[in-house]
Structure 1
Amino acid sequence: MQRLGLRLFHSHAGRELRHLLGVGIDWAESFHDVALGRPGDGIVDQFRIDHTVAGVERLITRCLELEPDPADVRVVLETRHGVLVEALADAGFTVLPVNPDLVARRRGPARKKDDAEDARICCLMALDQFLELRKLIPHGDLAGELRSIARDDERAARDQRRLLNRLRADLLATFPAAVAIAGDNSGDLGSPVMLKLLANWPTHAQLADIDADTIEAFARTAKHGWPDRFAARVTDALAAEHLPVRDYLIRAKATTIALTATQLLALRDARKAWERRMAALLLGDTRYGRAKQPRNPDPGKAVPGGEIYLSFPGLGDILAARIAGEIGDHIEQFDHPNGLQCYSGTAPVTRRSGRSELVIARRLAHNRYLGTAVHQWAFCSLNSSAWAREFYDTKIKAGKAHHSALRALANRWLEILWHCLTKGVRYDENIHIRNRSKALQPPTAA
């Protein structure tokens, strides 16, 4: 009787699987290779579409011809972003993004890269009922905008550091007085008044031709706090003795210095505008005044949980926006804190075989934007959270390196964040310390 029931169960599951359509896509910029398949039949069709409206419509129409129910169309491809992914999700298909390494491991011993073969592998993965793949839950409009702005801001921050280092190197080679004006702090070199000064007068001779009153008026126009002190510092730096510089090198670097200063000014203005927009997306309105608080916050114009992110120590508008943008507005896609920790790369991987045991501290396959943001969050929380500092110091005393201790702290912060987001409550340091003390207490004997 049990065997008969088992046979009926498998036959019923087989009938359900026959309605499934697997779609594998090897995507590119101008075209995409597609493979379609059914359970039991394998690959039934392979073709190539152009990255155009007509090509994507052809793909969707062909899939709906083979399977009228869009929910039963499982699409596996090696990216989770782009207009192709959005079009497939809008069509109602079940989109299952995978890491490219997962496809590469199934190419065979030769590891030969072929677009049509990769599409076939993706299709077979879509048909594999025992392969656990996470369904893509697209970001909402607000969360998608927040993610895009946060990623652009992170790239701009890297470009800003790179250009500032290049500017400092050029100034040391041709205009050392400008470095003396800025002082030892590289942040002063990237200040608006210094960048505007270099954009207008990129050489020693050009700046020496103007008088102190002109420099003071310039500093006042650039909204420097002490224009007279700035003019005096410029005069003293120009009067100091410096090693001679070749004239040809000064002529060659003058335009480069002015251009770099102009680029840094543009990046600074763009990042300020992005920061204001990220704060508005988190809180529902732009911050105003010295208190930096929104006047009329509208929850409908804010990313869900924005105020929860900002309640955590170490998270300002920029870092909170980077983390919230990567997690998205559907925390339910992570049914356990470990899922979020693995997604960010903070959860360690244990490899056990026989008597050997290896712990890989950082996962290779993870969201690097999220992993970088939470690592920085852990570092920023050391000065604003008592238990975080204690946790970090304990790891350091146990022999952990600096980044290993920060990664462990970030892993713990993500667990707390997951609980706060799922319960819809703001973080409270006192409550967490009280709960942590209870958990660390040894059990009392009965």
Structure 2
Amino acid sequence: MKGYNVDNFAVLIGIDWADKKHDICEHPTHSEKYHYSIIKHKPEALHEWAMSLKQRYPNQKIAIVCELKKGPLIYALAKYDHLTLFTANPSTVAKYREAFTPSGAKDDPSDAFIQVEILALHMNKLTVIEPESVAIRSLSQLVEYRRSLVQDSVDLSNKFTATLKNYYPQVLEWFGEKDTMIFCDFIQKWPSLAKVKKARKQTLLDFFNNHNSHYSDINNARIISIKNAMPLTEDKGVIEPNQMLVEVLIAQFKVLLKGIEQLDKAIKSAYKTQRDKVIFDSLPGAGPQLAPRLLVAFGCNRDRYYDASELQKYAGIAPVIERSGKKMWTHWRYSCPTFLRQTFVEWAGFSIRYSFWAKAYYEQQKSKGKPHNSIIRSLAFKWIRIVFRCWKTNTPYDESKYLEALKRRGSPLLKFAITS
């Protein structure tokens, strides 16, 4: 990563952000003075403030530190070339405040001042916000929003599944997958067992065929089960409220499914234009959902990371090692971009099914008594190193070449795979 020091900048600025206004602490680098101000969170006010800095410090760089990595404020300031944006971890600011303010007193201007002090003393340890290309930033948001909607759909699915079990459990057996339009439309058309039992056989067959369910044996089995089904309860005090809730949840679920489908199309369209697509398509188990996420994780700026360890630490995959006296222990890295870490961990889990060495590594670690989650994180750590090399050299991943490299090094992993 590119290094920065205080002498590169004419002024250091700390911003304690809020929803409607931002407290500013401004400190010229060759002065002992601090200037405090407040700006409103409005596009016009932010633009006027950014341009006033350019006029007061012409042809000079300005360093700004904030507790944000993204969001409206960052999006508004990132477009100005004369501003360099640093991000400080909120917990770092809080602990710094506690160290020098034992009383626990806190106010917005003092937090802005603390951020300036951290920037002045520890600039080389802070992360600089360096925006990727427009295409990468757009794809980044699309894949993250898709993952969020998928989680929302899982939560909704759990809710209506639990509700259906209260009065209409049979429908859960008739359809293996719940995240489908045929399941949603079936519930909307026949929201209770009493209603579906009144339907004629041909009506049911027409419904299944119209939803591209053409397996006659499955459809006939469903119809027989419908006709023979016994109600869990006939208490209207149970059935009617639960039926009403299910109808509301299913309507929301259908909107989510359509939204995910739209995002899938947008992601596919954006991803296929990326030059690095060939690298991430070559990764075992990545597939249409994880390949775009992995591409976004690395980005297109080859100078962003000096080596793989920087990305391993930034993504929260590299463990934290602590020492005290003669004791040493490792633990999960608490502060990191959650979605980025989730991307690597999810892909590492999928890679076991498609990569010979990844499966062998998993089985090897499992035989040593390591827990599943620890093995997957360790596997993700190894994958980042491999993919980083492919990314740096613009070379697609080749499983056979990697296995040959392991063989040349006399890797015990291959010996374990052969003997197991």
Q: Taking structure 2 as the reference length, what is the TM-score of the superposition?
A: 0.90
Q: Which moved more, 1:259-268 or 1:419-428?
A: 259-268
Which of 359, 369, 389 is residue 330 of structure 2 equivalent to? 359
Correspondence for 1:47: 37
Secondary structure (helix, strand or coil) at the match of 1:79 reads coil
Q: Does 1:85 align with 2:55?
A: no
Match of 1:162 in 2: 155
Tell me which amino acid in the other structure corresponds to 2:146. D
Number of the residue aligned with 2:111: 118
CA displacement at 1:221 relative to structure 2: 1.4
Distance 2:202 2:122 in 1: 77
Range moving further from structure 2, 169-178 or 402-411: 169-178
CA distance in 2, matches of 1:130, 1:169: 51
Shift of 1:228: 7.0
Shift in CA distance, 331/83, structure 1 to aligned 2, threshold 3 Å: farther
Q: Report the Cα distance in structure 1 between the residues aligned to 2:179 and 2:65, rounded to whole angstroms.
A: 46
Question: 1:128: which partner in 2?
Answer: 121
- Out of 338, 344, 347, which is 1:377 matched to? 347
Q: After superposition, give the CA deviation of every residue in 1:344-377 in whole Å (9 maximum; x if it has no partner).
A: 11101111233121212x2111111011111111
Structure 2 segments unaligned to the other structure (5+ residues): 413-420
| Number of the residue aligned with 1:261 | 250
Report the AA paired with residue 264 of structure 2: E
Deviation by residue 1:127-166 (Cα, 9 ceiling, x = unmatched): 2366422321102221111111111111111111111111
- Partner in structure 2 of residue 405 of structure 1: 375
Alignment correspondent of 2:140: 147
Deviation per CA, 1:215-258: give whole Å up to 9, x if none.
11111112212267425513423422233231122221222212
Cα gap change, 1:346 to 1:18, in 2 (>3 Å)? closer
Instruction: Indicate conservation of the 8 Å contact 1:212/1:235, yes or no.
Output: no
In structure 1, distance between residues paired with 2:8 and 2:385: 40
For 1:19 and 1:150, locate their aligned partners in 2 and report how far apart those are by CA, in whole Å.
35
Q: Which residue of 1 aligns with 2:262?
A: 273
Q: State the Cα distance separating 1:38 from its structure 2 match.
A: 2.2
Structure 1, unaligned runs of 5 or more: 1-13, 285-301
Correspondent of 2:356 among 382, 386, 389? 386
* d(CA) in 2 for partners of 1:441, 1:230: 52
User: Which residue does the alignment assign to 1:36?
Assistant: 26
Cα deviation 1:321-344 (Å, max 9, x = unaligned)? 223224332242111101110111
Q: Which residue of 1 aligns with 2:48?
A: 58
Shift of 1:441: 5.5
Q: How many matched pairs? A: 404
Report the residue type matching 1:342 in the other structure: K
Offset, 1:50: 0.6
Q: Is the 8 A contact 1:22 1:38 kept in 2?
A: yes
What is the aligned partner in structure 2 of residue 3 from structure 1? none
> Following the alignment from structure 1 to structure 2, what is the Cα–Cα distance between the partners of residues 268 and 234?
26
Whole-angstrom distance in 2 between the partners of 1:170 and 1:238: 22
Amino acid at match of 1:146: L
Question: CA separation in 2, counterparts of 1:42 and 1:280?
Answer: 53
Which of these residues, 366, 370, 384, is aligned with residue 396 of structure 1? Answer: 366
The 2-side partners of 1:214 and 1:441 are apart by: 62
> 1: CA distance between counterparts of 2:384 and 2:348?
10
Q: Deviations over 1:35-92 (max 9, x none)?
A: 110235345211111111232023213422442235x211111112123213322111
**Would you say the 8 A contact 1:219–1:227 is kept in 2?**
no
**Could you say what secondary structure the match of 1:252 adopts?**
helix
Aligned to 1:8: none
Q: Do residues 100 (structure 1) and 90 (structure 2) align?
A: yes
- 1:307 aligns to what? 278
Tell me whether 1:250 sits opposite 2:239 in the alignment: yes
Q: Distance in 2 between matches of 1:441 and 1:228?
A: 51
1:175 aligns with 2:168: yes
* Cα deviation, residue 101, structure 1: 1.3
Percent identical:
23
Q: Against the structure 1 CA distance between its residues 249 and 128, is the aligned structure 2 distance closer, same or farther, given a 3 Å change threshold?
A: same
2:416 corresponds to? none
> Equivalents in 1 of 2:244, 2:355: separation in Å?
47
| Matching residue's letter, 1:85 | I
User: What is the alpha-carbon distance in structure 1 between the residues aligned to residue 26 and residue 263 of structure 2?
Assistant: 42
| TM-score using structure 1 length | 0.85
> Could you tell me how far apart the structure 2 residues matched to 1:102 and 1:167 are?
42
CA 1:359–1:379: 2 relative to 1, 3 Å: same
Paired residue secondary structure (2:85): strand
CA distance in 2, matches of 1:405, 1:19: 44
Cα distance in 1, alignment partners of residues 280 and 8 from structure 2: 44
Deviation readout 1:88-147 (Å, 9 max, x if unpaired): 221111111122112112103434442222111112222236642232110222111111
Name the SS of the counterpart of 2:19 in structure 1. Answer: coil
Larger deviation, residues 201-210 vs 362-371:
201-210
**Cα deviations across residues 142-196 of structure 1 (Å, max 9, x unaligned)?**
11111111111111111111111111111111112312322xx4x2x33321211
Report the counterpart of residue 208 of structure 2 in structure 1.
219
2:167–2:231 contact (8 Å) kept in structure 1: no
| Distance in 2 (alpha carbons) for counterparts of 1:44 and 1:18 | 19
Over aligned residue pairs, what C-alpha RMSD do you find?
A: 2.2
Aligned positions of 1:309-324 closer than 5 A: 309-324=280-295
Distance 1:259 1:29, change over 3 A: same
**Corresponding residue SS for 1:363:** coil
Asked if 2 retains the 8 angstrom alpha-carbon contact of 1:345 and 1:365, the reply is yes
